[in-house]
Structure 1
Amino acid sequence: MSRTAVHVIVEGRVQGVGFRAWVEREANAKQLAGWVRNRSDGSVEAVFAGEDTLVRAMVEACHRGPRLAVVKSVKTAIHPEQDWTGFAMWPNG
């Protein structure tokens, strides 16, 4: 089983629609580690770490988001994996 970590920035109507809470639920359901937070520019930023297939599935899910979200873009970059335990919602950045 291959592991990976990915840094994600989601742009569009992604604040004020429950996007962070949705990401936290989805990431926990997939047993991913990492974090999610709102950014001051209106985007949502996250890091997903875990089994490669599940991380890719989470990134793909971010293209849709929760029901009220309107996702315009999802930018990804490889992120160095760290010893996170669980998935957390961080304060706005």
Structure 2
Amino acid sequence: MSTFVATQIADGTVTLIITMSLKYFTFQVEGTVQRVNFRQWTRKTAQASNITGWIRNHDAGHVEGEALGQAQDMDNFKVHLHRGPKRAQVSQVIITGEKVVQNPEDIGWTLTDFEVRE
């Protein structure tokens, strides 16, 4: 989703300002997703799309994380989470808290990269 704002200055100049909406969500990926390079693969996938956030292993055997990026990139990221790397066997992806964000600071977002957490 994009917002277009056009302003006309007294001399007739028109300035077009385009702001891209961001999408945020938390995710949980279940299946064979630990000890198969899932976290590193996810980090590389996210970084290639300028998505910021984090991922970590959970004691229950799944991985979980948060992500923020351009809406289209985030939709593609969801598809990648369902696929996973070669050795992974994803049984379920749970997306929660999905929302459109105009300004990352509005949700207290300070991350500037995608990181693997322990």
* 4+ runs deviating over 4 angstroms: none
Q: Tell me which residue corresponds to 1:84.
A: 111
Provide Cα deviations, 1:5-59, integer angstroms capped at 9, x if missing partner: 1100000000010000000000000111100100000001021101011111111
Query: CA-atom RMSD, angstroms?
Result: 1.2
Letter paired with 2:30:
E
Deviation at 1:81, TM superposition (A): 6.1
Greater share of residues in strand: 2
Q: Which structure's relative contact order is higher, taking Cα pairs within 8 Å and 6+ residues apart? A: 1
2:109 aligned counterpart, secondary structure: coil
2:64 equivalent to 1:45 = yes
Q: Distance in 1 between matches of 2:110 and 2:37?
A: 27
Once the two structures are overlaid, the 10-residue window that deviates more, 81-90 or 68-77, is 81-90
- TM-score computed with the length of structure 2 as normaliser: 0.73
Aligned length: 91
Gaps of 5+ in 2: 1-19, 99-106
**Structure 1 vs Structure 2: percent identity of aligned residues?**
33
Counterparts in 2 of 1:86 and 1:47: CA distance versus 1, 3 Å: same
1:63 aligned counterpart, secondary structure: helix
- TM-score computed with the length of structure 1 as normaliser: 0.92
Gaps of 5+ in 1: none
2:45 equivalent to 1:26 = yes
Larger radius of gyration: 2
Counterparts in 2 of 1:53 and 1:5: CA distance versus 1, 3 Å: same
